[in-house]
Amino acid sequence: MPTGVSGRGLRLTGPAGRCSLLILWACLRLYAASAGRSPWAEHYGTKSRYRAAGEGSWLPPARCTQLHLNGLIRHGTRYPTRKNVPRMLEIHRLVRERADADRGLVQALAGWRMWYHERMDGNLHHLGVSEMARLAERLADRFPHLLAPRSYQEKRVKFLTSSKHRCVNSTRSFIQGLESHLGLRDPAAGQWEVDDGLLRFFESCQKFVRLVENNGSALHQVEIFKQGPEMERVIHKMAQKLGVLPGAISINMVEATFYLCTYEFILKGIVSPWCDLFDKEDVEVLEYLGDLKQYWKRSYGYKINGLSSYKLFQNIFQYMDQTIEENERENVHSLSNLSFWLKPSNPGDILVNLFCWLLPNVLQCLVEYLRFQQVKSFSSENLSAQGKSKGMNQYLIQLSCDLGMQRPSCQF
């Protein structure tokens, strides 16, 4: 029978009914897309689209002399990592083999083509290539005295990267974008240095590796949340939509489904049917789960997470002090080294969020941090011992006054 009537209204059964349900589901999806509804894009965390934040219009103050630029920049948009692909395959297999095939959403998910594979393993996506090239153009426009053809050809622009392929390729893409913008093609100048000791410092910090990275109990609070009522509700609602028992769905499957929703939007710009297995409350729970992991493994959960990044932090400010000293000694406004860092996410992000070093509020917060926290590793006494005439504390405080910054209310 193609159709039938139950006590609760019209019910569609059989092949024709399943086709009708799929068409109905597709129509609803098209309506949602035409209405401009976002697939929870504001909750994608570290996988958010860069362009969603906008390019901004900030420019250096007119009275600010450009002496030095130091960028600490994350790699561009990437594919999923190897460990997540098997989990994606697992939830897709569950949908095809055990879910209720009479449901329109299930039919759409079963017919979805799995195109992710382990060889992608976090490689830079073509969107990441264009992001890095565009970033180079914006920086060259905003800092023309520092990123000028002559400075570039004189190798006064320095590029450092970690050995991660997505970081190396991000560096390459940035250099290509800069050379194109400057109208240059200089293989000798467009070189980069791989320095994992500086940019992947956490791998060589034995205390971090022992207490956090290889410690099975370091994420104890994360495991408690995974077994809590919030995640239980997410699983139950997801099971109900698929027509399976809640016990058939694991936490890994739930996270993989959220990644499928996320990556389909980030990489393809489409609202995936995988997103329809969640509602806004579910997505907020999953976003919190991701934040909780980052808090304990990469952020403020353990003191060593931040302490391990001091080497990188100190290196950045030594370059800044060196630039100021050279400028004062020569009594001219000259360019010092420009260091450009490309790195994956790591505990260095928690010491000071330098993702966008160009934003004034970051500099203000940094001034406040250095003024009141007095980080011993970077004290003026230590710098003076190395022949520094002006420590970064004094320099940044003076810089904030020169730029007319108000005292910020930063919380560290």
Q: Look up residue 79 and give its amino acid.
A: Y
State the Cα–Cα distance between residues 39 and 396, nearest whole angstrom: 42
State the Cα–Cα distance between residues 89 and 395, nearest whole angstrom: 54
Catalytic residue among 43, 75, 92, 181: 75
Please report which helix (H) or strand (E) contains residue 215, including its range: none
Give the DSSP letter string of 331-381: TS-----EEEEEE-S-THHHHS--TTTT-HHHHHHHHHHHHHH--GGG-HH
Q: Look up residue 274 and give its amino acid.
A: W
Would you give the DSSP letter of residue 9? E
Q: What are phi and psi of 340, to 5 degrees?
A: -120, 120
State the Cα–Cα distance between residues 49 and 349, nearest whole angstrom: 18
| Tokens standing for residue 330 | 């020569």
How many whole angstroms from its chain centre is CA 407? 29
User: In 3-state terms, what secondary structure has residue 208?
Assistant: helix
Cα separations in angstroms, 264 against 92, 131, 254, 267, 275: 14, 18, 16, 6, 9
75 is a catalytic site residue? yes
162 and 195 in contact (C-beta within 8 Å)? yes
The CA-based dihedral angle spanning residues 222, 228, 232, 233, taken in that order and rounded to the nearest 10 degrees: -110
User: In 3-state terms, what secondary structure has residue 252?
Assistant: helix
Q: Look up residue 334 and give its amino acid.
A: S
State the Cα–Cα distance between residues 65 and 63, nearest whole angstrom: 6
Half-sphere exposure of 71 (CA within 13 A, CB side): 25
State the Cα–Cα distance between residues 194 and 161, nearest whole angstrom: 5
Q: Which residues are the active-site residues?
A: 75
